[in-house]
Amino acid sequence: MIRSLDKIFAFLKRDFQSEVSYRVAFLLQLGGMLFSVAAFYFVSKMMDPKTVGLDGMKPFPWMLVGLAFQYYFSTALYSFSSKIRSEQMLGTLEAMLVSPTPTSIVIFSEAAWDFAYGAIRVAVYLLVATLIFKVELHTNSLGTLAIGVLLTLLSSAGLGILSASFILYFKRGDPINFFLSALTTFFGNVFFPSALLPGWIQGVSKVLPITWSLEVVRGSLLLGKGFTELQGEIFYLALLTVILLPLGLYFSKIAIRKARKDGSLVQY
């Protein structure tokens, strides 16, 4: 376990070193976040605070949390597969896979920086929202928030590894990523409450981890709800996590074996 964490840290360090070598791009990205928060602030002004599904939350913080965590989910969907592709193109994947580190750990660790960067991004969004747009965040249930974030991380990683396995197996990835990304954005309570959708279709949002993830994060951060009040949502999120993560790891094993068999593991 400690050895695996050590490896994940090595990937984080490598990507940080590489990222800061492009200093201007790094700073411009952080600057870009400021503008997207401001854009959402003004878009949310058009929303009626009494809209069904907002559950008493103000539109701007509601959307902001949705935006920040949707980024996390799309990172999960795209990061594993795009990192593997880029390592294949760079020619570095072979060097990693010939090392004694198990292939599954290499795949998992590849996305570590994107997840860490996603966390920084969430923090920057919330900081900008608090300092500039005077959004009030509750800090009395940080433990519940931490559980929500951890489960978000693991469930989205499960989805991401599933998608990366699909790419390794079929050598085609974008359709599944596009589909899952569109699905989570549309049904996942991200930019509008799913309660606004026709009743017969609302059920789709219940099987998406992002729906429960946002319920927990919004509940704890914007309404100050504690663990007991959010235990139902946490249960569903945990349930989806224990299904998606092992499923992702299982399929990644099958995909890696097939790729070793047909010689395509390091081919772009």
Partner 1 sequence: MEFAVEAFEIEKTFVKKRSLHDLLRHPFSRAERVRALRGVDLHVRTGEIFGLLGPNGAGKTTLLKIFSCLVLPDRGRALVGGEDVEHEGKVKPKIGLVHTDERSFYWRLSGRENLEFFARLYDVPRRRTRARIDELLARVDMVEPADRRFADYSSGMKQRVAIARALLHDPPILLMDEPTRSLDPSAAMALRTFIRDELKGRAGKTILLATHNLREAESLCDRVAILAKGKVRQIGTVEEVRRWGVDERRFRLEVAAWPAGLAGPFRVVLEEPLDGIRRVTVALEGDARLDDLLRRLLDAGAVVHACDRVEPDLEDAFSRILESEEGKEEA
User: In the set 27, 30, 95, 123, which binds partner 1 (CB under 8 A)?
Assistant: 95
Task: Check residue 86 for interaction with partner 1 (CB under 8 A).
Answer: no
Residue count at the site for partner 1 (CB under 8 A)?
32
Question: Min. distance of Cβ 249 from partner 1 in angstroms?
Answer: 16
Task: Check residue 143 for interaction with partner 1 (CB under 8 A).
Answer: no
Q: What does the per-residue mask of binding to partner 1 show for 247-266, with x meaning CB under 8 A?
A: ----------x--xxxx-xx
DSSP string, 145-173: HHHHHHHHHHHHHHHHHHHHHHHHHHS--
Task: Check residue 97 for interaction with partner 1 (CB under 8 A).
Answer: yes
> Cβ closer to partner 1: 56 or 100?
100
The answer to whether 157 and 246 are in contact (CB under 8 A) is: no
Let me know if 185 is exposed, middle or buried by CB neighbors in 10 A (0-12, 13-18, 19+). middle
Task: Check residue 6 for interaction with partner 1 (CB under 8 A).
Answer: yes
Summarize as ranges the residues that interact with partner 1 (CB under 8 A).
Answer: 3, 6-7, 9-11, 13-14, 17-18, 21, 90-92, 94-102, 106, 171, 257, 260-263, 265-266
